[in-house]
Amino acid sequence: MKTPANAGRVDLVGAGPGDPDLITLKAARLIRSADTVVYDHLVGEGVLDLISPGAERIYAGKEAGRHTLPQERICALLVEKAREGRRVVRLKGGDPFVFGRGGEEVDALIEAGIEVGIVPGITAALGAAASFGFPLTYRGRAQNCVFATGRLKDRSVDLDWPALARPGQTVVIYMGIVGIGTISARLMEAGLPGDTPAALIYRATCPDQKIFPASLATLPQTARDNRVRPPALIVIGRVLELAAASRRGAPGRAFPRRVPA
């Protein structure tokens, strides 16, 4: 569809995992120049500080069990603001295309004939690996890395368990805290050993970030004992043996080390 001559533009911008120093130069430029910023719950305060004082701010955050705006309304809002001739930034935590529903928003904008751009951001898994010193892939431990969502549209947890339980890979599960018991049990049923190193990582790259080492079998109890709440990642795989805490041998925070195969 042809874009109206007076229409504005929408840029979907990745805000990264929380640390404002991790956004791209292009992201910072677009945020500063935006007329309207529609932002999510997981966007760090330091990133929001880049918004111009005169810009319109619209909170569209989604928290567990509570959505400020339904997704359909967010899509309609982006179209509406662009048709007013505004430069709109849709500011999304992490990367817009990694479990951020950015694809749905792009579809709506293209269908409405709105010019749209995409600015990638550092997704939470990359931020967690950097913050706590473990690689996502490593010879002899993980030749693959898989990202999965622990919550489907109908709030069920129905993943490809045999694929996630394959040896020699790192599995990172987003939005999996609510279904952590099911995730742990189904992966073990699919053949992944219960003593596989695992961790819960809360708010990676933020000042209050935390890591809770565990094994696949003890993940649910670890979450309960530490009252882990979203936003938190579940990471499973032998690369966790290389985490900085393990290398330092920090009491209570180390992972068991194995000899590489």
Q: Are 216 and 198 spatial neighbours (Cβ–Cβ below 8 Å)?
A: yes
| Site of tokens 């910072």 | 28
- Rounded to whole angstroms, the Cα distance separating 178 from 231 reads 11
Q: Are 184 and 215 spatial neighbours (Cβ–Cβ below 8 Å)?
A: no
Q: Which residues are catalytic?
A: 40, 62
Q: Are 64 and 115 spatial neighbours (Cβ–Cβ below 8 Å)?
A: no
Dihedral angle sign, alpha carbons of residues 20, 93, 216, 147: negative
Dihedral angle sign, alpha carbons of residues 168, 162, 240, 205: positive
**Sheet of 144-149, strands arranged across:** 144-149, 169-174, 232-236, 197-202, 210-215
Task: Enumerate the β-bridge partners of residue 146.
Answer: 171
Dihedral angle sign, alpha carbons of residues 161, 94, 81, 46: positive
* Burial (CB count within 10 angstroms: exposed 0-12, middle 13-18, buried 19+), residue 118: middle
Among 14, 13, 17, CA closest to 202: 17
Chain CA centroid to CA 139, Å = 25
Pairing between β-strand 232-236 and β-strand 56-59 as defined by DSSP bridges: unpaired
11 is written with which tokens? 């840029």
